[in-house]
Every structure is written in structure tokens, then in C-alpha cells.
Amino acid sequence: MNIKEGVYLVEAKRTNPLLLAFAYGILIVGSIWMLLPLVWMTSAAFKPMSEIIQVPPTWIPKHFTLDNIKQVFEQVPFARYFLNSIITTTVIVFSVLLTSTMAGYGFAKFNFKGKRILFLFILSSLMIPFQVRMIPLYQISQQFGIIDTYIGVVFPWLFDAMGVFLMHQFMLTIPNELIEAARIDGASEVRIFFTIVLPQLKSAISTLTIFTFSWSWEEFLWPLIISNSDRVRTLPVGLQYFSEQYGINIHWQMAGAFVAVLPVLIVFFIMQKQFVEGITLTGMKG
């Protein structure tokens, strides 16, 4: 047992069992309360309309059906919306990962004039609401002729200041001696970055992937503004148009929402272990 584990053990013994039980009870009740809408949506996605509106409600479908999901894909170009979201989200995630890791590495491991000011300037962009940048971004898109294109949908999100900060914090935990040893051995900076630095950042990359995937998949306002047709319309915008046309069909809306949220849940469950490790380690050094 190392010193850190010993400290955790002592702290655990000092904790009041009743207080600990109360805290866990509050967390469990809060978790159940927050999960209820998701459970109801999932249940309603596989029920006929008659069972959704019946009183008392049923949480487990008595008449399980896949017809709701089938109708969603038949009534609107839902498959096209889904494909558009996959394309745009994938491009955004890879771009954010690349730019954030490279910028974080530069700010954490290199010294250059104006480094601190530039880093603070990047972080200060987090305080500017997107609504303030929305009109200039649209004017830029109009000038470059990228309205109603995939490039127009993704270009405001190709660089993320929060991702730079997150990677910077993780880069600080990598020993400088490891990088210096590679330089002495004659490795180039590119090789050091891809073969030594990046393998040390699995938790950080998983954390940033989940964050970026979630908000880019759910982004609504900018795709609504920049897209004029189903050719590049993403899933959240498509769901809005679907609800306007078929608002009374609650079972179809629940099926569409279930399909839309499913990829986010899958990504989280695949990367949840690294995500928890990444959140724990983010603020350890700075």
C-alpha cells in the first residue's frame, strides 16, 4: 500500500457511516429522478399510441412494437439527417482532438514570447456567447459561399478553447524528462508528439471525445441557421421539423428522440472508464 492509498483509507475510516449512507441515498434518488425521462422515452418509443395515453401509465411495454421507429424513417428523410449528423460530428471530433492536443502540447511544453497572453486570450473566448458570434459567422459563411454545405455546418467548431485547456492540463502531468530523453536520442518533435505524448493521453482523449461528440451531436442553433435543405440538415434540426409536422404522434416523436440519443449513450458507455479517469486527473496539476 502506498502513501496515497493509506491516506484514503484513513479518511474513509473517519467518515461517519450515517453521513455516508445519507449522501449515497441522496445521489441514488437524484440519479433515478434524472433518469426517469430517459426511461419513459425509451419505453414510449416501443409502445402503440393507445398504450402511451392510457391511465395508469405502464413503464414496460405490454405490446412491444418497432413500427414507431419504422414510421419515423418513412415519414421524413430521417436516415439522411442521421447520416449528416454522423459526418459533421465525426469531422468536428477529429478536428478538435487534433488542434487541442497540438495546442495543448505547445502551451504546456514549449516556452515562447507571449505564451501566457496568448493562452489567456484563447481561454477568454469561452466567455463570449455563441449568440454574439452568430451573425459574423453567418456573414463569413455567406461571403465564402458555404451556406447549406457540410463545411458551413462544421467550420465554427473545428477549434475548441475548452479542449485546449483540458489538454494543456493533462500535458503538464507528462514528465519533461521523458520528452528531453527522446530529443537527446534524436527523435523529431513530430515523432515525439505522436509516439510518446499522445499514448500518455488516452484518458484525456476519451474525455474530450465524449464532450465534443455530445455537444456537436446535439447542436441545434447553428445547423438550423446555416442549412436550407435536407441535404445537410442534422438530426436535432430534423427532429424539430418532424415534431412540427407530426406533433400529435407522441409515439413517433419518442421513437425519433430515442434514435437520436442512442449514439451518445453508446459512445459514453464505450469510453466511460477513461472518461471517469480523465475527469479525476484534469485538475491535479496546473
pLDDT tens digits, one per residue of 223-282: 999 988 888 889 888 888 888 777 778 888 888 888 888 888 888 787 777 666 655 554
Question: What sign does the CA torsion over 66, 217, 168, 171 have?
Answer: positive
d(CA 101, CA 53): 50
The residue type of 22 is F
pLDDT of residue 101: 92
Domain boundaries, the chain: 70-281
pLDDT of residue 270: 79
Task: Name residues whose C-beta falls within 8 Å of residue 56's C-beta, 6 or more positions apart in sequence.
Answer: none
Q: Which residue is it, cell 510518446?
A: 196
pTM above 0.85, yes or no: no
Reduced to 3 states (helix: H, G, I; strand: E, B; else coil), residue 230 is: coil
CATH class of segment(s) 70-281: mainly alpha
Q: Which set of grid coordinates corresponds to residue 278?
A: 480523465
pLDDT of residue 275: 62
Q: Are 274 and 207 in contact (CB under 8 A)?
A: yes
pLDDT of residue 284: 46
Q: Which residues of the chain have pLDDT under 50?
A: 1-10, 282-286
Task: Name residues whose C-beta falls within 8 Å of residue 80's C-beta, 6 or more positions apart in sequence.
Answer: 230, 231, 233, 238
Reduced to 3 states (helix: H, G, I; strand: E, B; else coil), residue 170 is: helix
pLDDT of residue 280: 56
The residue type of 91 is V
Per residue in 25-43, pLDDT tens?
898 888 888 888 888 888 8
pLDDT of residue 10: 45
The residue type of 259 is V
Instruction: Find, among 113, 157, 121, the residue nearest to 137 by Cα.
Output: 157
